[in-house]
């Protein structure tokens, strides 16, 4: 239904009027966003301006989500350096979290964590290959780590 209604740019409430689901609103929002990415880009000046505003909003939301993630890791009591702290001491590779001592997560030894609150987007089809390269560098240099993803997004 999200794909059928995508040209109307539906929000969660509109989509829920058409379907009866037990899915969480955040999941419905993610489905709408995925459906919207299948539309061709609006190359009009208005469309480009709207896209720029949307990207700025997503960037701000990503920064807030990452800060909340860092706070949750800090609350766990683990000792680590944040990306900013790593940059301050001029480390070459700077994952979002670099543990001072390896941490066991579900039985796996982790030296670092990388937080991603996206799973790719049309504006840059090379995101996946760039992320793979980034993670391979972390793993080969720092040792094993983990990627944390958060697909929960605000309603559209």
Secondary structure of residue 112 in the 3-state scheme: strand
Per-residue confidence at 154, pLDDT binned at 50, 70, 90? very low
Percentage with pLDDT > 70 across the chain:
88
Q: Where does residue 13 fall: left (phi above 0), alpha (psi -120 to 50 degrees), or beta otherwise?
A: alpha
Q: What's the pTM value of the predicted model, to 2 decimals?
A: 0.67
Instruction: Give the closest residue to 92 by CA, choosing from 58, 151, 137.
Output: 137
> CA torsion sign, 16 to 116 to 52 to 4?
negative
Residues 132/138/140/144 CA torsion (nearest 10 deg)? -100
Per-residue confidence at 123, pLDDT binned at 50, 70, 90? low
**How confident is the prediction for the chain on average, in pLDDT?**
84
**CA–CA dist 84, 94 (Å, integer):** 8
Question: What is the pLDDT averaged over residues 8-27?
Answer: 84
Question: What is the pLDDT averaged over residues 15-24?
Answer: 84
Give pLDDT, residue 82. 95
Give pLDDT, residue 110. 96
Instruction: Give the closest residue to 32 by CA, choosing from 154, 123, 127, 126.
Output: 154
DSSP-derived secondary structure letter, 1: -
């Amino acid at each position: 239904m999200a794909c059928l209604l995508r040209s109307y740019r539906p929000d969660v409430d509109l989509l829920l009027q058409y379907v009866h689901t037990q899915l969480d609103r955040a999941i419905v929002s993610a489905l709408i966003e995925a459906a919207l990415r299948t539309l061709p880009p609006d190359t009009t000046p208005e469309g480009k301006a709207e896209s720029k505003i949307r990207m700025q909003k997503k960037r701000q939301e990503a920064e807030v989500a990452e800060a909340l993630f860092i706070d949750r890791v800090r609350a766990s009591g683990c000792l680590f350096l944040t990306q900013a702290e790593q940059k301050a001491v001029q480390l070459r590779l700077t994952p979002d979290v670099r543990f001072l001592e390896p941490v066991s997560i579900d039985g796996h030894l982790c030296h670092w964590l990388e937080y991603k609150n996206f799973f790719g987007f049309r504006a840059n089809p090379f995101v996946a290959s760039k992320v793979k390269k980034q993670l391979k560098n972390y793993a080969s240099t720092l040792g094993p780590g983990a990627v944390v993803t958060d697909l929960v997004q605000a309603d559209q």
